[in-house]
Every structure is written in structure tokens, then in C-alpha cells.
Amino acid sequence: MTEVSDKKTLLLVDDEPANIQIVNSILKDEYKIRVATTGAKALELVAATPLPDLILLDVVMPEMDGYEVCTRLKTAPETKDIPVVFLTGQTETSDETRGFEVGAVDYIHKPFSPAVVQARVHTHLTLRGVRQQLAQQLDTIKKELEVARKIQFSILPHEVPAIQGVELAARYVPMTQVAGDFYDFIVIDETHVGILVADVSGHGMPAALIASMLKIALAAQADHATEPAEVLTQLNQTLCGKFHDHYVTATYVYLDMEKHTLRYAGAGHPPVLMCDAATGRVRDLEENGFFLSWMADAAYSSREVPLGQDDWVILYTDGITETTNRKMQEFGIERFHDFAASNSFLSAEAFASKLLDELQKWSGRAEGEEPDDDVTLVVAHIKELEM
């Protein structure tokens, strides 16, 4: 026998005293039962504390039938999750379909079979318990993910560094609460800066944890920040053997504003874009080695190019070029080139914001809707070159 303190509460709604007596006799030993003989009374009793765990609701009643009662229950935040089982003598498929449409979970047909009544009630109370447990677990996971999101955002730069002659801007838009993209800077002094943009394969917590490892690993590269190939070599050796089933692509750029040069290296990452604002020419800089974390002896090489007045240097993850529209067409590198060439008159901040707006328009997403992939962007606009 169930202890009184542990009994679930049922609300029994029927306008026929005989039906109430039969169902009550079947269930009274196992459950606390409240009784209503009209739909209006049912809506009054359902609000009493504690809320019922399950409602047994007659379909055919005067003034307010079971369908309307159920509809009202399902539109009220306090009662929408209480399972409703209809009691009915009707056997037409259309009647049952309507019941499910208004939110019922099951039917018990008249005349009542004690075994069926007990089994249906037990089943739906058990299912509700499982749903409540899952909802609590989901709520806990959401709270943990929110904490993880805050931690992840805390490891990203709070602001872009001030470098002489360079206007910098950065954007980071995760696909989910936590993501695998990462960017950071190694500031040598007011005229020299290293920029890393990386993309961990996959999404969610594992990718975010690996991105956090990159933060620590990059901080240890300050002594050879001027050599992109060495930075990637050291990052690769640090990451190798630390995880499986994931890999990291990355590009590292070193801006030397004294010598007016850019030195860069890549690890399986999309090319760096350079745009000459004067001519509108956009070119890809690609010096790629193997992606990070899988081969401890992977080799990387650097390439150096001159910087000109009004040049743009754009580092990004493939979430930009692989953003798809409703026709599953990718934004692509050519559109990215065209965008860079036609918007090089903007400030770095305006450029970055307009690009994200363009991606949202291209994808057809509503504002605030998650992107297809993590999106990270760092742009550097060469404003002044001292000779």
C-alpha cells in the first residue's frame, strides 16, 4: 500500500455520479482524488495546491465539454504540463483525434475496466515523473552551459590592442552556447602584434575545452611571437596527445609596423585575405601546413609580404564562407572577396559589423537565430605607415 504522504493527486472530472463512483472505487486506495462535476469546477479545483499530478476528464459534459476544459488547461502556464486522460464512451477516430489535438495524452473508454484504468493512470504518472526528471536534468545542463559560456567568453580578449598605424576589430559568434572557435593577440609593443585565429573541429563542450587549452598554449609563445611557423609548431606539440577525435585548424599573423611587413603561417586553415583599398584587389595568402594536434612532427613554414597604406588583413574561420542560404548555397570565398573590395572604405568596426549583417541576410535567419557554424573574424586596417 502506498504511504499517504507519497500519494499522487488525481483530479476526476465527470458529470455522471455513477462514473465518479466507479473510477473512485478503482483508484482511491492508491491516489488522492479530487472530484469535479462540471468543467468550470474542474478549472477551479485544478488551481488548488498541490496541483494534481494527472487529470481524468470526461469528454461529454454540459455547458463546457472536455475539449474546451483541456484546451484551457494546456494554454495556462501553471497547468499545461499536467497530463490529461479523457474518459469517453465515444469510439470514433475523429473524436479521439480531436482529443489529442487539444492536448490529451490518452483515452480510457467506458464501460471502465479496473485493470485498464489502473494501468493507464500508472503509466502516465510514471511518464510524467520521467519528463519532470529530464526537465530538471536539462535545466541543470543549461545552467552549466551558461557558466561554461561565460568562462569561454572570459578567455577571449576583452578589447582589441592599440597598435600604431593599425585599426583592429574582432567578432566572435558561437553556433551554440559554447563553441570551438578562438582568437587572441600577442602584443609585443605598440608597433608589433601577433594574431591567432583557430577553429576546433566539432561543437559544444569538448570543442570549447580545447579552445581553452589554446589560450594557455598561446600565452607561452611570447618569446617567439615574431615567427609564425614556430608558434604553430609549438602549439601543435603542446596539443598532440591531449585529446582524440578532434583537430584544430589555425592561422597566425605577425604584423611588424616598423618594417611594414606581415608574416604568417597556417595549419589547415582558410587563407588570410589581403585587400588593397586603392585598387580593390583582394588576394588569398595561404601557407598551410597540417592541422594541429594529430602529428607531433608536423612542419610549418612562414611567408612574409609587404604592407601598404590602406591595406586590409582579414583572418576568419570557415563559418563565414560556409554560411548557407535557404537554397543551401554557401556564401563562398568569391562573395567574401567582393564584400571586402566594396567595403574597404569603412572603419574596421563598421566593416566587421556589416559583414555579420550580410551573413545574416544571406542565410535568411531571423535576428538572434543561431548561425550554421561558429563565426570568428579579426580585421586589421593599415591606416598609417611612417616612413
Whether 96 and 244 share a structural domain: no
How many folded domains does the chain comprise? 2
Report whether pLDDT(142) > 80. Answer: no
139 confidence band (pLDDT: 50, 70, 90): confident
Whether 125 and 224 share a structural domain: no
Mean pLDDT confidence for 105-131: 93
Strand partners, 312: 275, 381
Higher pLDDT, 92 or 87: 87
The Cα 198–Cα 196 span in angstroms is 7
The Cα 306–Cα 300 span in angstroms is 20
In this prediction, residue 208 carries a pLDDT of 77
Lowest mean pLDDT among 4-18, 101-115, 252-266, 364-378: 364-378
Q: Is the residue at 145 inside a domain?
A: no
Report whether pLDDT(6) > 90. Answer: no
Q: What CA–CA distances, in Å, run from 200 to 157, 269, 294, 376?
A: 18, 11, 12, 12
Looking at residue 230, which CATH number applies to its domain?
3.60.40.10
In this prediction, residue 92 carries a pLDDT of 75
- Please tell me whether the overall predicted TM-score, pTM, comes out greater than 0.85 for this model: no
Query: In the block, which residue shows the cell 498541490?
Result: 50
Looking at residue 60, which CATH number applies to its domain?
3.40.50.2300
Contact 193, 262 (CB under 8 A): no
The Cα 117–Cα 110 span in angstroms is 10
Q: At how many degrees (to 10) do helices 228-239 and 204-219 cross?
A: 130
Cell readout for 56 is 481524468
Whether 121 and 27 share a structural domain: yes
Kindly report, residue by residue over 311-350, the tens digit of the pLDDT: 999 999 999 999 999 999 999 999 999 999 999 999 999 9
Lowest mean pLDDT among 24-28, 123-127, 293-297, 345-349: 293-297
Whether 176 and 85 share a structural domain: no
Output the average pLDDT for the chain: 89
Kindly report, residue by residue over 67-88, the tens digit of the pLDDT: 999 999 999 999 999 999 999 8
Mean pLDDT confidence for 168-197: 88
Cell readout for 314 is 582579414
Q: Is the residue at 332 inside a domain?
A: yes
In this prediction, residue 176 carries a pLDDT of 65
Cell readout for 311 is 591595406
Q: Is the residue at 146 inside a domain?
A: no
In this structure, how many other beta carbons lie within 10 angstroms of the beta carbon of residue 269?
25
Q: What CA–CA distances, in Å, run from 223 to 164, 226, 255?
A: 21, 8, 15
Pick from 255, 186, 250: nearest CA to 222: 186
Report whether pLDDT(368) > 70. Answer: no
Q: Is the residue at 259 inside a domain?
A: yes
Whether 74 and 205 share a structural domain: no
Higher pLDDT, 260 or 2: 260
* Helical spans, DSSP H, in 28-179: 39-45, 66-75, 93-101, 114-155
Report whether pLDDT(175) > 60. Answer: yes
In this structure, how many other beta carbons lie within 10 angstroms of the beta carbon of residue 199?
27
Q: Is the residue at 150 inside a domain?
A: no
Angle at CA 220, nearest 5°, toward 218 and 225?
70
Q: What is the DSSP string of 298-331?
A: -----EEEE--TTEEEEEE-TTTTT-B-TT--B-
In this prediction, residue 1 carries a pLDDT of 45
Mean pLDDT confidence for 140-161: 76
The Cα 351–Cα 103 span in angstroms is 49
Whether 296 and 176 share a structural domain: yes
Whether 228 and 299 share a structural domain: yes
386 confidence band (pLDDT: 50, 70, 90): low
Report whether pLDDT(385) > 70. Answer: no
Higher pLDDT, 178 or 215: 215
Report whether pLDDT(145) > 80. Answer: no
Domain range for 269 is 158-382
Q: Is the residue at 387 inside a domain?
A: no
Lowest mean pLDDT among 112-126, 140-154, 248-262: 140-154
Query: In the block, which residue shows the cell 510524467?
Result: 128
The Cα 217–Cα 53 span in angstroms is 53
In this prediction, residue 2 carries a pLDDT of 46
Whether 186 and 110 share a structural domain: no
Kindly report, residue by residue over 202-234, the tens digit of the pLDDT: 777 777 778 888 888 998 999 999 999 999 999
Whether 223 and 282 share a structural domain: yes
Whether 187 and 255 share a structural domain: yes
Whether 199 and 100 share a structural domain: no
Whether 269 and 127 share a structural domain: no
Q: Is the residue at 101 inside a domain?
A: yes
Report whether pLDDT(244) > 50. Answer: yes
What is the Cβ-side half-sphere exposure of residue 311, based on CA atoms within 13 angstroms? 18
